[in-house]
């Protein structure tokens, strides 16, 4: 399976009507969550899922502690993590005190190993236009294939998987729930969809 992309045009930051150049952007196939990755690592390595999950949790805690102390952190084969800060705009450094400066985000810079693994990735252009939306049967096939590898899917993931609008995605998911092919869990922004309990492996 290869990644899909589409050509997009970034809005002109100046607000002028002159068209900006097109550039490629990956169309996500979906979102893999920690449990999905743990299952794959477990199958490849023989290390237990519980050990992997525990190690990841400890690693996250250690990284957070070191970032909080002011270190940049390199995670071998992945990349570098650093903290960014925010404050109100000032013209002179004397105009602001340390209490007014806050954490903003964690920056990630990809390492050489990860870059080298992705340099030869296969890509195909995603078809554009109104006739692109796959038939309902094909959308369901993609969904079931996805749920064979993942515990659940979100509405956003389903839209990325099928190219549906939000309205069409919700209608599809509701129809499949009514037919007993899916069940929903969670509430509003945390809602997820999965196979009925009787069909889960």
Going residue by residue through the chain (201 aa), what tens digit of pLDDT does each one get? 678 888 877 766 665 667 778 889 887 777 788 988 999 999 999 899 999 999 999 999 999 999 999 999 999 999 999 999 999 888 888 888 888 899 999 999 999 999 999 999 999 887 665 445 788 998 999 999 999 888 899 998 898 888 888 888 999 999 999 999 999 998 877 899 999 987 655
Global pTM exceeds 0.75 = no
What the block records as the tokens of 169 is 């995605």
Strands 3-9 and 123-125: parallel
The CATH code of domain 127-199 reads: 1.10.10.10
pLDDT at 149: 87
Q: In the chain, what are the domain boundaries?
A: 26-118, 127-199
Q: Per DSSP, what are the bridge partners of residue 110?
A: 79
* Per-residue confidence (pLDDT) for residue 65, from 0 to 100: 98
The CATH fold assigned to 26-118 is HU Protein; Chain A (4.10.520)
Other beta carbons less than 10 A from residue 17's beta carbon = 6
Residues 153 and 176: their CA atoms lie apart, in Å, by 13
pLDDT number for residue 45: 93
56-89: string of b/e by CB count within 10 Å (b at 16+)? eeeeeeeeeeebeeeeebeeeeebebeeeeeeee
């Amino acid at each position: 399976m290869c990644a899909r992309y589409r050509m997009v045009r970034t809005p002109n930051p100046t607000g002028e009507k002159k068209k900006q150049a097109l550039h490629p952007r990956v169309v996500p196939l979906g979102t893999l969550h920690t449990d999905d990755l743990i299952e794959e690592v477990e199958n490849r390595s023989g290390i237990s899922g519980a050990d992997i999950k525990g190690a990841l949790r400890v690693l996250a805690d250690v990284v957070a502690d070191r970032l909080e102390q002011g270190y940049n952190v390199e995670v071998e084969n992945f990349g570098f993590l650093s903290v960014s800060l925010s404050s109100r705009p000032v013209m002179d450094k004397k105009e602001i005190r340390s209490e007014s400066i806050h954490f903003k985000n964690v920056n990630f810079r990809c390492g050489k190993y990860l870059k080298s693994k992705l340099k030869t990735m296969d890509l195909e252009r995603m078809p554009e236009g109104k006739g692109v939306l796959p038939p309902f049967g094909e959308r369901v096939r993609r969904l079931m294939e996805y749920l064979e590898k993942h515990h659940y899917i979100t509405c956003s993931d389903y839209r990325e998987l099928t190219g549906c609008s939000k309205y069409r995605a919700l209608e599809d998911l509701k129809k499949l729930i009514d037919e007993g092919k899916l069940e929903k869990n969670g509430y509003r922004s945390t809602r997820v969809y999965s196979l009925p309990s009787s069909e889960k492996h």
